[in-house]
A and B are shown apart, each in its own frame.
Chain A
Amino acid sequence: MKNVIEVKHLTKSYKAHKAVDDLSLEVHEGEILGLLGPNGSGKTTTMNCILSLLKFDNGKITVFGKEMTPSSYDAKAKIGVVFQEVAVFDELTVYGNIDYFCGLYIEDKETRAQYVADAIKLVGLEDCTKQYPKQLSGGLLRRLNIACGIAHKPKLIFLDEPTVAVDPQSRNNILDGIKKLRDDGATIVYTTHYMEEVEILCDRVIILDRGKIIASGTNDELKALAKIEEKVTVEIPELSPKQLSGFEKIKNVSEVEYDNGVLKVVYRRGKNNLGDMIEYLKENRINYDKIFAERPTLNDVFLELTGKELRD
């Protein structure tokens, strides 16, 4: 598989603080790679080093097979970046902003007009082209920010937390747009601290903490790292201590917690745990309201590996 980005032993410090610590990674052509980690884990710093915006202490970065430097104009022409902070001109309309930033890459006016129209359609801003950024809602503004970053049809796209503070409708629109970009052949590096987005979007995930990679792989590979297989949650209005201790004896159960009428049972492994639980409740004549099972999440993986929540 062809690598679009190769980072080897990247180290970046801010005075005594190591923001990125001996980090190596590869991004394969055509994939969506998720960089997942809490705030301050080094995701954005890594991205800025790859883009040659930041000096770094050590390491080597190649993009499209060549070492990345500030004057790598050939590589830059094929890269699109959507920064975390909205970076548009308040004095330009939606169309003007996209046209301006696209024009830094595409000189031909006709081609540019087509690209700008495509970007507007991709992010669903067809009805707002003549509006100014201050007239847009937070979600629409984020969509404009994305359109400005990808209008020139880049082959490699960095998306840095593009859905922060976005309403559900815009969020879905943005995620659909990202999938479409991948389907059109772009390679995407997606940094976020929203594990749900990573699970929906990413082909491969790298989990960062304190500037280091603590795990990487596909969603399933990462979840396999978690020592739990399944969590079953049951709403039980009343439960005696004897009944509670009975749950701990069920096969494959590793942990039982009962609080405020909600029972949470963690299974280490095993199949059909939900069915077994329903059977157990019937046999023991325990009344319950709702019951559902959950597979482990990336947050469980992160918790397992670092002892803290992703969103800490």
Chain B
Amino acid sequence: MFWHNYKYAFRTLIKSKEMVFWTLAFPFILALLFYMAFARLHDYDTFEPLNVAVVNDESYRKDVAFSEAFKSLSEGDERVFNTQYVEKEKAEELLESGNIEGYVFVEENEAKVKIKENGTMTTVLVLAVEQISQSVDAVNDIAMDEIQRANGAVDIPAIYARVAAKISEAQPNIKDDSRVMNIVAVEFYTLIAMAIMQGAMVSSEMMNRCLPNISNRGKRVAIAPTRKSIVVLSSLLAGYTMLFAAVILLILFIRFVLGIELGDNLGLIMLHSAIGSLAATAMGMWLSVILKTNDAAKNVIILTITMVGCMFAGMFGGQKVFFDEMLPIVNKISPVGMITDGFYSLYYYDDLSRFTVNIVSLLVVAGIFFALSIRGLRRQRYDSI
């Protein structure tokens, strides 16, 4: 009975235009669009440094860790930015005239970016500042240690200067400095995360077929002499199979057809995708159980949740910075955030501890959603159907 239902559930899924579109076609189309949008960045050999400005005021100069890091991206043959150090008024003027993509300034001990309009180039700037700012937090911790070791000495700029020199030592697990600026990988990781989250829609569709209060086919299943658990499990497994196959195809397409650098750990990326797919499946199952509405409305809700999660996770560039500042908890608890962060950590660090945290978090999330869904499904008779 299990495999009979699995076989037909899988067959109906791969023949469902809607499911094939959202799990396979949509991510592939986005991948192609991303590839075209980031074509200039993709070809690293022909990458042109971006024209930016830095407001070189007292606040900026005091933020030694940030200013040193940004400076390192503005020097040498492989520099990312052509940086002009100017007054704020001049920076505004350059931005208005279109001579720069944006400018960086430090305000209240926080590095900020002002851009004129969103686009690929400005996204690079925003992400660069974001990544440097994140590093600064780590640097601050080190600085505090230095201060304590100095027994209360207050020459902070001097300490910062020493710490800045230790940045590479402080983050020994960063694989390769050149990767820090790989905006292309960042965007494609979020795209893969989005594709994984489409699994919520697939599992919701699978659940709808099993619920008599949602679909007529659910009524047929409910009156059959087959345990609900068998039908639900086999249906979800069919959905999971389709989803995971689609995600693997997408990863292979991005890596080997589009030629995007996704790091060395393709095996771990697939493992992470498998566990992410599990979490997405569990989330869709739970949403299907709690939402008392038809398939179409459910799909709209799930798609909205997925896309908002992707936006928080940085799929659309600079918004990640904004949301990390305004609502930092969201990416910590959002499955999309966890999936994306797991990919980042695989890409940037040799150490798998952060990756492991994300894997465990996803398993916990999946467990919670599954538990909540099973609780909802234990009801066997309905008030109305």
Does A224 lie at the interface of the complex (its beta carbon under 8 Å from any beta carbon of B)?
Answer: no
Does B381 lie at the interface of the complex (its beta carbon under 8 Å from any beta carbon of A)?
Answer: yes
Query: What are the residues of chain B within 8 A of A96 when measuring CB–CB?
Result: 8, 11
Q: Which of A55, A70, A71, A92 contacts B11 (CB 8 A)?
A: A92
**Scoring A residues 79 to 116 as 1 if CB is less than 8 Å from chain B, else 0, what string do you get?**
10101011111011000100011011101000000000
Contact of A100 with B8 at beta-carbon distance under 8 Å, contacts A52-B381, A70-B381, A105-B225 already known: yes
Does A127 lie at the interface of the complex (its beta carbon under 8 Å from any beta carbon of B)?
Answer: no
Contact of A55 with B225 at beta-carbon distance under 8 Å, contacts A87-B215, A91-B12, A104-B5 already known: no
How far in angstroms is the closest Cβ of chain B from A158? 9
Query: What are the residues of chain B within 8 A of A87 when measuring CB–CB?
Result: 215-217, 219-220
**Scoring B residues 222 to 246 as 1 if CB is less than 8 Å from chain A, else 0, what string do you get?**
1111110001000000000000000
> Are A83 and B219 in contact, CB atoms less than 8 angstroms apart?
yes
> Are B4 and A91 in contact, CB atoms less than 8 angstroms apart?
no
Does B149 lie at the interface of the complex (its beta carbon under 8 Å from any beta carbon of A)?
Answer: no
Instruction: Tell me the complex Cα distance, A53–B1, Å.
Output: 21
Query: What are the residues of chain A within 8 A of B219 when measuring CB–CB?
Result: 53, 81, 83, 87
Does B44 lie at the interface of the complex (its beta carbon under 8 Å from any beta carbon of A)?
Answer: no
Q: Which of A55, A70, A86 contacts B216 (CB 8 A)?
A: A86
Does A73 lie at the interface of the complex (its beta carbon under 8 Å from any beta carbon of B)?
Answer: yes
Q: Which of A48, A100, A101, A149 contacts B385 (CB 8 A)?
A: A48
> Are A104 and B1 in contact, CB atoms less than 8 angstroms apart?
yes
Instruction: Tell me the complex Cα distance, A88–B15, Å.
Output: 14
Query: What are the residues of chain B within 8 A of A73 when measuring CB–CB?
Result: 225-227
Contact of A54 with B383 at beta-carbon distance under 8 Å, contacts A85-B216, A91-B15 already known: yes
Q: How many residues of B are counted as interface, with CB atoms below 8 angstroms from the partner's CB atoms?
A: 29
Query: What are the residues of chain B within 8 A of A86 when measuring CB–CB?
Result: 216
Contact of A107 with B4 at beta-carbon distance under 8 Å, contacts A54-B382, A77-B225 already known: yes
Q: Which of B11, B16, B221, B382 contacts A104 (CB 8 A)?
A: B221
**Scoring A residues 223 to 256 as 1 if CB is less than 8 Å from chain B, else 0, what string do you get?**
0000000000000000000000000000000000
Does B97 lie at the interface of the complex (its beta carbon under 8 Å from any beta carbon of A)?
Answer: no
Please, which residue of chain B has its CB at the minimum distance from the CB of A73?
Answer: B225
Does A33 lie at the interface of the complex (its beta carbon under 8 Å from any beta carbon of B)?
Answer: no
Query: What are the residues of chain A within 8 A of B222 when measuring CB–CB?
Result: 53, 70
Contact of A103 with B380 at beta-carbon distance under 8 Å, contacts A51-B223, A76-B224, A91-B15 already known: no
Query: What are the residues of chain A within 8 A of B226 when measuring CB–CB?
Result: 73, 104
Does A74 lie at the interface of the complex (its beta carbon under 8 Å from any beta carbon of B)?
Answer: yes
> Are A54 and B381 in contact, CB atoms less than 8 angstroms apart?
yes
> Are B381 and A105 in contact, CB atoms less than 8 angstroms apart?
no
Does B384 lie at the interface of the complex (its beta carbon under 8 Å from any beta carbon of A)?
Answer: yes
Does B212 lie at the interface of the complex (its beta carbon under 8 Å from any beta carbon of A)?
Answer: yes
> Are B220 and A53 in contact, CB atoms less than 8 angstroms apart?
no
Contact of A104 with B216 at beta-carbon distance under 8 Å, contacts A54-B381, A54-B382 already known: no
Q: Which of A51, A54, A92 contacts B12 (CB 8 A)?
A: A92
Instruction: Tell me the complex Cα distance, A76–B231, Å.
Output: 15
Contact of A76 with B225 at beta-carbon distance under 8 Å, contacts A83-B220, A86-B216, A103-B1 already known: yes
Please, which residue of chain B has its CB at the minimum distance from the CB of A52?
Answer: B381
Please, which residue of chain A has its CB at the minimum distance from the CB of B217?
Answer: A87
Contact of A14 with B384 at beta-carbon distance under 8 Å, contacts A79-B223, A103-B4 already known: yes
How far in angstroms is the closest Cβ of chain A from B233? 14
Q: Which of B16, B212, B380 contacts A91 (CB 8 A)?
A: B16
How far in angstroms is the closest Cβ of chain A from B24? 15
> Are B385 and A54 in contact, CB atoms less than 8 angstroms apart?
yes
> Are A103 and B8 in contact, CB atoms less than 8 angstroms apart?
yes
> Are B12 and A104 in contact, CB atoms less than 8 angstroms apart?
no
Query: What are the residues of chain A within 8 A of B225 when measuring CB–CB?
Result: 73-74, 76-77, 104-105
Please, which residue of chain B has its CB at the minimum distance from the CB of A87?
Answer: B216
Contact of A55 with B382 at beta-carbon distance under 8 Å, contacts A87-B216, A91-B12 already known: yes
> Are A107 and B1 in contact, CB atoms less than 8 angstroms apart?
yes
Instruction: Tell me the complex Cα distance, A51–B385, Å.
Output: 12
Does A148 lie at the interface of the complex (its beta carbon under 8 Å from any beta carbon of B)?
Answer: yes
CB-contacts of A152-186 with B (<8 A): none
Please, which residue of chain A has its CB at the minimum distance from the CB of B215?
Answer: A87
Q: Which of B15, B223, B381 contacts A81 (CB 8 A)?
A: B223
> Are B216 and A83 in contact, CB atoms less than 8 angstroms apart?
yes
Please, which residue of chain B has its CB at the minimum distance from the CB of A103?
Answer: B4
Please, which residue of chain A has its CB at the minimum distance from the CB of B221?
Answer: A104
Q: What 10 pairs across the A-B complex have the smallest Cβ distances?
A: A87-B216, A70-B380, A91-B15, A104-B224, A77-B225, A76-B225, A73-B225, A91-B12, A103-B4, A55-B381
Q: Can you list 26 A-B contacts (CB < 8 A)? A: A14-B384, A51-B223, A53-B212, A53-B222, A53-B382, A54-B382, A73-B227, A76-B224, A76-B225, A79-B223, A81-B219, A87-B219, A87-B220, A91-B13, A91-B16, A92-B11, A92-B15, A96-B8, A100-B8, A103-B1, A103-B5, A104-B1, A104-B225, A104-B231, A105-B225, A149-B220
Q: Beyond the given A81-B219, A96-B8, could you list 13 further A-B residue pairs with CB under 8 A, ordered by the A residue number?
A: A53-B219, A53-B223, A54-B385, A55-B381, A55-B383, A73-B226, A76-B223, A79-B223, A87-B215, A91-B16, A104-B224, A105-B225, A107-B4
